[in-house]
Structures are given as structure tokens and as C-alpha cells.
Structure 1
Amino acid sequence: MVEQLPQSPFTRLAQLLGDTKLGQSPIQMALGEPQHPQPDFVVRVLSEHAEGFGRYPPIQGPEVLRQAIARWLDRRYGLSGAATAGAHILPLSGTREGLFLAPQILGKRSGQTERPSILIPNPFYQCYSAAAFAAGYEPVYVNATRETGFLPEIDALPEALLVRTAAIYLCSPSNPEGAAADEAYWRRLFALADSHDFVVLADECYAEIYDHVPPVGALEARYRQTGSLERALSFHSLSKRSSLPGLRSGFVAGDPGLIGKFRAYRNVVGPALPLPIAHASAAVWDDEAHVQANRLLYSQKFELAQSILGNRFRFYRPAGGFFLWLDVGDGVAATERLWREAGVRVLPGAYLAQDTVTGNPGASYIRVALVNDFATTQEALRRLAQTLS
């Protein structure tokens, strides 16, 4: 199985750039690691509950955390209590763990003789394909291009593929393009899931970083559609929302039957969230002030990018997330040149996508993470525009 896994885009980037001598001081814009201030109360809460490091935590997390998550889901998505702390929510040690384990709880599809598939948007987060391979599914890549609004064109999926589909990953807002599924899109996707008996795995870790309009969530759309959360699993994280990637704290919520299987599976193979981290996470989910401040900082940097880049590289302001997805003609060549001449480290779009019969949908792009402070971002974008124009 290991031989089938895609190589990490950051390993490929390190191989591409190697020991290149730089013309200017380096600026890191390849990694989506938020550099904004952390909520100032986190260290205090960790300290107050430090004795919890001496206890094994429950796999389902403490009630205080699950209740905080349930309150947040109600505030953010108007679920009116449909996602309960006991049956619908499971804390995770970051979303990557949950996204990887999810296919392993889906089980066998009765009467199916062909190898089951998992649909993956292309470009994509590499964890998705690793998860499919590990669970014995065939990863099927569905291109998400400018022509499809940077979301998979689900209405064009062939019936022969749909009948053997066990699940689909959908990142909204998407990484790297920043496209957000609207309610109509979610409803069409869930209608397909209902008619073909598959599960929607919604990666929504960028859901709280948006430009103007809060993106519609998978659970929100499903609840409005059916009054239930059936066939939906939504993954959220504090890494992006709250600039806490080192806390390794997230959750999965949705279909109670699937959450029950998830809980039982993780009780055997998964790490439980340490109690001090769980208490700090509860406090962070309950606080919105730092999230609003965070969004404002990203909005200011997108305005800065627009003023510097204009319409070059087919620039657009994404609906969500903190990446620029710039069409530079040849993403690998542009990445190497930016590093060598300008000291700006970005990620080639091709490294985030799978080659298909129609080519690599990320080949002409670079992904630029606007995670640094304003002044550093300004200098990096100035260098980028000057070097590639």
C-alpha cells in the first residue's frame, strides 16, 4: 500500500528547490501554517487543566468539549440542536486523522463485485488518496477547474462510476482554489448520495476563513434538505479557524450511525485528545471575537494582493481559505524561479493534483499561502509580481 501513496507535495518541493542559492532573504508562502496571533486565553486554560495530562482521556472527549462544539454548530449552521453532543459529534486529534480513518468505517457494499471507489476532487489534499488506498478503495479523481467553478462537476459523473462509489471527499472552501459549494450544489450532491448509497465526507477546515459571505456547510444543507444528517460527515479544525495548528484539535460531526462506528473504531486505533487540550479547545470553540479578528487580517491581505497583482496571473479573490491560486503558465518553473531569484517559496499546483488523461489540472498554477503578517506578505507579493511579470 505504501508504494501506492502519492508523494508529499512538500517532499517534492524540497527536491525541486534543493540547495538553490537565493538572491534574496527567504519568505515561506508554500505551507498553509497560520502565523496570526493565537487566542490569548489558550495558555491559561491549558495551565488550569494541566493535571489532566496525568489521566487517560475518554475517546469521545469530555462532555464540556462536545457541548461547546454542539453550540458552535448551532450558531454557525442553524442546526437547532440536530447535532447532539452524545450521538452526532466526535472530537479528533486534528482533521487529518479523521479524514484518513473515515473510509475504514464505511463497510462492505452488499452485492457489489467491482472494486468500490472513492471520489476525490482534483487538485486535492493528499490525505484523501492515502485514505482510499489504505481502506482498499480505488481513488477516482474528478477534475475541478476554472471551467467547473473549481468544484467537481458532479452532474457529469457516469452511472457506472456512481454505482460503485462508497464516498466522496469535498473540501469547501476548497484547497487550493478557495471555491465554496453553495446550498444548491450540496443538495445535488446529497441527492446523488441518497440515490447511489454513498457518504459525503465534507472537509470544512477553511469554513471560518471567508471573504464576505459565510459558506454554506454540508450539515446545514443536509438538515434543510431532509431534517436529518444522514450520509453526511463534516470535519472541522482549530488549525485554520483559530491559528492553532500545533494544538491538533478538530472534530467530525454528522450521521449518528457513522459517528457510532467512528467512535468504536477510534476506541481501538485512534488517539484520544488530551484533557487539557480538550478544555482549551472548548474555550476556543465558544469564542468568536478572535475568529472575527482573524478574518479581518486575511481580508486585508487579499485586498493587498488585489492591489499588487491586479488582473495578472488570472488573479481572483477566493470565496474562502487563505490561498492565492495563480495561473503562471508553468507552475513548477515559476516556483523554481521565484525561489532562486526572489527567495519566495510557493508550491507548484501540479504537486497538489493527479495527472489524468486530460492533463494535470494544477500544472499551470502556483499556490501562495497568505499566512504571514501584512508587511511580510506585502514584500513577498511585490517580489512575486516583479519576478514573474
Structure 2
Amino acid sequence: MPPAFARNPVLARTGSYPFQRLSDARTVVAARPDAPRLLDFGTGEPREPTPAFIREALVAAVQEETVSAYPLAAGLPELRRAVADWIARRFGVAVHADRHVLPTLGSKELVFSLPQVLVDREGGRDLVGVPQPAYPVYERGARYAGADVLDLPLVEERGFLPDLDAIPAEAWARLALLWTNYPNNPTAAVADRGWYREAAAACREHGVVLASDEAYSELWFRGEAPDSALQIGESGDELTGVLVVNTLSKRSSMPGYRSGFVAGDADLIAALRRFRPSVGVAPQRFVQHAAVAAWGDEDHVAAVREVYREKLRVLQPGLDALGLQTAGGDASFFRWLRLPADWAAARWAAAALDDAGTAQLVALLTDGDAADRGSAAFAACLLHAGVVAAPGAFFGPAGEGYVRMALVPTLEDCRAAAERLAALAAA
């Protein structure tokens, strides 16, 4: 018997990452002899081409850097200035490039690591507020930092905003960090600057950091451009207790570049500067040069917004045919879809559920609970037909009864998916 080496117990408690389970299920379907061509709306990974001028900036930076140097945790001064300039143009807020801005390795690493900087178990600040439903990394980052998690239900009747007044006094006393995420993943809802001001004021009253993940701020299907938590004031000096995270992954179709930023409270940015050299998560210098180019241009962002809008236009008839109702908002590139009450009785779903292969997919998606007949079973039935969607339960118990579709396939595949969904409904 091999020795029983130690493991962090959080690893077992959190289980496998939901989207890895979805990837495993896709692999099973793709390996079948009669496998349909997969149309993948599961993971929110943009597949639009990265604009040529950004790629050219990266190549030029590689060629100019004949001696490769470690990137500094503070990032390149020109990147911090580019981000500060973008914030001023986009949100009308004046932030200081050196005191209020810090480049990050995309947004996910900051989301995961921020609790390690803020949670103080000895001081009794051992609780992190997490939306429900939500992107899984908020909870996982809190757990690995040794914190407990306070679920903050997103109330559909309130536009998928949490009711901060419902947080009990004893929870406020323990909170170190409260996460908010708008445009929201998975619901696509938005928050306005008035709500951000109220949330920031409540957090300041109780000595809690408000962290706003705004990775989808530049994508919306209809209406006005989403607001930002940065807009609670007119300058970075008014951002006490507030941090905002953003990324180029969605805005500029650059997920593989891993480039984003965190901006806000100068003291919190200084704390992150002290922490980050220990973990080595600064983007490569040549990536930072490409990011300077990306933050400086809006034309490519406007163009990609129109692409996502066209994708929704061609996909919508298929969603309607299958009875999937939009339950969320009109921002991001997601559709948050409520399952029909009697979906399992539909002929196409009943046939899929009778197939032994679907039970295997359900087991994969639920990490072993093959008895599930909720959102994971619905997603397994769709996957059986070659359409990949994320079960709502991936985003926590409040996501049950929904699926999320990310409009990241090509326009042609969105059209093909609409036809396939309509054919299922007519079967």
C-alpha cells in the first residue's frame, strides 16, 4: 500500500470542478460511433478571432524583448495607464494608474486569491458573501482561504439582485468580503450605479470589502451599457472598500492571453501588491503590451457585440421551439433559461432518458448522482442530441430548474443548433 500522504480536506469537499465534468461528458459523447457533431454552448469561452492588431502587438513585443525578464507584480506602467484611461472613457471615473490599478492574470486568479488577502480568521472576519446562483470560483476561493461562505440568494423578482438588508448582524460582523457580479454569470442580469452605491455604503458601515466581478461589462444584447461599481464616485479616492475586477477575455476575445485588472481602493491595491509577488501571477510582459493595444480600442468591441446579438437572433427560434424561457437579463453573452415544467415527458426527452448512455452522462454531470432528474438530466438529454449546455445546478442549488447557454459557437453553429432544437421539439 502506498503511504497516505496528506491532502487539503477542501479538495474533497469541493469535488470536481463542474466544467471539467462537462468536458468529460462531451468527450464520452464525441467518442461514440454515431456521435452527432457537438454544438458547444456549455463553457463561456469566446471563440471569435482575436483582432489582428492585438496579435500583431503581441508579436512585436516578443520580437523586441530579446532578453526575457520576469514580469513585475505591479505590471507595466503603460498597461496601468491604459486601464486607467479606459476607465475614464468608459465610466467617467478618474483613477490613478499607480495607486488604484493592478494588472491580473485574467480575472479568475484574482477571484480565487482575493480571500487569501482579506480573510482574517484570528480576528473573526472568516466569512465570504457569495451570490447564489454563481460562478463556482467565488465559493472555492473562499473555502481554500479557510473561510466559511454566506450564500446571498439572487432574487428574480428584484432583477436577480441580492437582498443585503436580509443579512443578519452576526453575519455582517464576520464578513471579510462580499462578492457581486454584474453583468451576472449565469443570469445575465445587471445592476445600476444606485444599487452599487447602496451596496458599498452597507459594506463600509460594517467594515466589509465589496468586490465586483465585471468580466462581462462590455457585452449586452439590448438596452444601455451596464454600469460599474467604479461609478459610486467620480474618482479613485472615493472607492474606499471597493474593488472591481475586469478582463480582456470576453471583451476582446482574448481568453488565452489571461489578461485583466483589478481597480479600486488604494490601500487594498497596495495590499495586493504586497501579496502577489509571492504567488507569481503577473501576466507576461508581451501579453501586457498586447493588452495596452486592446484597452485602447473600442471598435473591435462594438463589432463583437453585434456578432453576439446576431447569434442570439438566429438561436432564439430553437430555444422557443423547445419551450426554454429566458429568465435572466440581456447582458453578457449568456442566456439563462428556465426549463419547461413537463420537459421530461416530451417525446425527445423521454427517448433520451431511456438511453443507457444518458444515465452515464447524468452521472458525470452530477459527480455520481445518477438519480438526478433536474437540470443535469436536461443537459444530458441535450448533449445526447449533440447540443452542449451547462446545467443550472453547476452554479449552486439556486440554479436548479435552469440551464445556461453561452453564445460562443460560430454564427453558423448557432443556426445549426436552432434547427436541431426545433427538430427535437417536432419529434
> What is the match of residue 5 of structure 1?
14
The residue correspondences of 1:165-176 to structure 2 (distance < 5 A) are 165-176=175-186
Kindly provide the CA deviation profile for residues 111-152 of structure 1, in whole angstroms up to 9, marking residues without a partner as x: 64xx62111011111111121112221111122242342232
> What is the match of residue 318 of structure 1?
329
Inter-partner Cα distance in structure 2 for 1:145 and 1:384: 29
- Whether contact under 8 Å (2:318, 2:420) holds in the other structure is no
The change in CA–CA distance for 1:264 and 1:336 in structure 2 (over 3 A counts) is: same
- Whether contact under 8 Å (1:5, 1:129) holds in the other structure is no
Classify the secondary structure of the residue corresponding to 2:20.
helix
Aligned counterpart for 2:78 among listed residues 26, 50, 64: 64
Matched, 1:271 2:281: yes
Classify the secondary structure of the residue corresponding to 1:375.
helix
Kindly provide the CA deviation profile for residues 11-51 of structure 1, in whole angstroms up to 9, marking residues without a partner as x: 33355566344563211110111111211112211121114
Moved more, 147-156 or 240-249: 147-156
- Whether contact under 8 Å (1:201, 1:234) holds in the other structure is yes
Q: Output the amino acid matched with 1:184.
A: G
Moved more, 370-379 or 312-321: 312-321
> What is the match of residue 88 of structure 1?
100
Classify the secondary structure of the residue corresponding to 1:184.
helix
> What is the match of residue 5 of structure 2?
none
The residue correspondences of 1:180-191 to structure 2 (distance < 5 A) are 180-191=190-201
Kindly provide the CA deviation profile for residues 69-102 of structure 1, in whole angstroms up to 9, marking residues without a partner as x: 00000011100x2x11110000011111111111
Q: Output the amino acid matched with 2:294.
A: V
> What is the match of residue 28 of structure 2?
19
Classify the secondary structure of the residue corresponding to 2:249.
helix
Inter-partner Cα distance in structure 1 for 2:310 and 2:104: 31
Inter-partner Cα distance in structure 2 for 1:331 and 1:130: 22
In structure 1, the gaps of 5 or more residues are 354-359
- Whether contact under 8 Å (2:237, 2:266) holds in the other structure is no
Inter-partner Cα distance in structure 2 for 1:313 and 1:361: 18
Inter-partner Cα distance in structure 2 for 1:296 and 1:316: 22
* TM superposition score normalised by structure 1: 0.91
Moved more, 126-135 or 229-238: 126-135
- Whether contact under 8 Å (1:210, 1:320) holds in the other structure is yes
The residue correspondences of 1:168-247 to structure 2 (distance < 5 A) are 168-211=178-221, 212-220=223-231, 222-223=232-233, 228-247=238-257
Q: Output the amino acid matched with 1:344.
A: V
Matched, 1:332 2:372: no
Inter-partner Cα distance in structure 1 for 2:265 and 2:312: 36
Classify the secondary structure of the residue corresponding to 1:56.
coil
Kindly provide the CA deviation profile for residues 131-180 of structure 1, in whole angstroms up to 9, marking residues without a partner as x: 11122211111222423422322222222212211111111101011011
Inter-partner Cα distance in structure 2 for 1:202 and 1:117: 17
Inter-partner Cα distance in structure 1 for 2:237 and 2:28: 56
Tell me how large the CA RMSD over aligned residues is.
2.2
- Whether contact under 8 Å (1:95, 1:251) holds in the other structure is yes
- Whether contact under 8 Å (1:338, 1:387) holds in the other structure is no
Question: How far 1:319 moved relative to its partner?
Answer: 2.7
> What is the match of residue 170 of structure 2?
160
The change in CA–CA distance for 1:273 and 1:8 in structure 2 (over 3 A counts) is: same
Classify the secondary structure of the residue corresponding to 1:41.
helix
Matched, 1:37 2:64: no
- Whether contact under 8 Å (1:306, 1:315) holds in the other structure is no
The change in CA–CA distance for 1:37 and 1:204 in structure 2 (over 3 A counts) is: same
Kindly provide the CA deviation profile for residues 295-339 of structure 1, in whole angstroms up to 9, marking residues without a partner as x: 111112223333443493222573311111111153112111111
The change in CA–CA distance for 1:75 and 1:283 in structure 2 (over 3 A counts) is: same
The change in CA–CA distance for 1:343 and 1:210 in structure 2 (over 3 A counts) is: same
Identity %: 35
Question: How far 1:208 moved relative to its partner?
Answer: 0.4
The change in CA–CA distance for 1:316 and 1:141 in structure 2 (over 3 A counts) is: closer
The change in CA–CA distance for 1:361 and 1:317 in structure 2 (over 3 A counts) is: closer
The change in CA–CA distance for 1:111 and 1:41 in structure 2 (over 3 A counts) is: closer
Inter-partner Cα distance in structure 2 for 1:231 and 1:382: 49
Moved more, 115-124 or 17-26: 17-26
Kindly provide the CA deviation profile for residues 255-287 of structure 1, in whole angstroms up to 9, marking residues without a partner as x: 000000001100222322211111110000001
The change in CA–CA distance for 1:225 and 1:63 in structure 2 (over 3 A counts) is: closer
Classify the secondary structure of the residue corresponding to 1:243.
coil
Inter-partner Cα distance in structure 2 for 1:16 and 1:302: 25
Matched, 1:367 2:404: yes
Question: How far 1:189 moved relative to its partner?
Answer: 0.8
Moved more, 305-314 or 86-95: 305-314
Q: Output the amino acid matched with 1:352.
A: F
The change in CA–CA distance for 1:236 and 1:225 in structure 2 (over 3 A counts) is: closer
> What is the match of residue 391 of structure 2?
348
* TM superposition score normalised by structure 2: 0.83
Q: Output the amino acid matched with 1:37.
A: P
Classify the secondary structure of the residue corresponding to 1:124.
coil
Kindly provide the CA deviation profile for residues 170-198 of structure 1, in whole angstroms up to 9, marking residues without a partner as x: 11101011011112221221121011110
Q: Output the amino acid matched with 2:336.
A: W
Inter-partner Cα distance in structure 2 for 1:271 and 1:226: 24
Question: How far 1:4 moved relative to its partner?
Answer: 3.0
- Whether contact under 8 Å (2:327, 2:338) holds in the other structure is no
Q: Output the amino acid matched with 1:338.
A: L
